[in-house]
Structure 1
Amino acid sequence: MYATATHRTAPLRAVGSRAPVATRRSRLRTALLHRWREAQRAAAMNVVAGTVKRGRA
């Protein structure tokens, strides 16, 4: 009826599909966001910033 290829066949992965290299600006932005979120969590829990565990705090 149709061609032998089914819809379940996975396409070949492209060689250049990796994430782009992080620039200095993006790394700085990420670091600042981490600090900001940590400070917000610390303020919400009424503790000193830097004592809050990352992840599940």
Structure 2
Amino acid sequence: MPSKRVFSTTGHLLWLPFIWIGIFKRRLLRLLNDRASVLQAVQTVHRPRKILLLLLFL
């Protein structure tokens, strides 16, 4: 049943942007609610690698 497998993979690919939008909305709401705590976390972290990771995940 190769057609069924292709359909499932395309379905997953179609669902991915909706999942990313949901995660992004949740992160935006968390940023709006905890902007001060996020700034404190960025200030307390001194390693540039962690700051880059924070910027990538925000």
When normalised by structure 2's length, the TM-score is: 0.39
**Which structure is higher in helix share?**
2
When normalised by structure 1's length, the TM-score is: 0.39
Indicate the structure (1 or 2) with the bigger Cα radius of gyration: 1
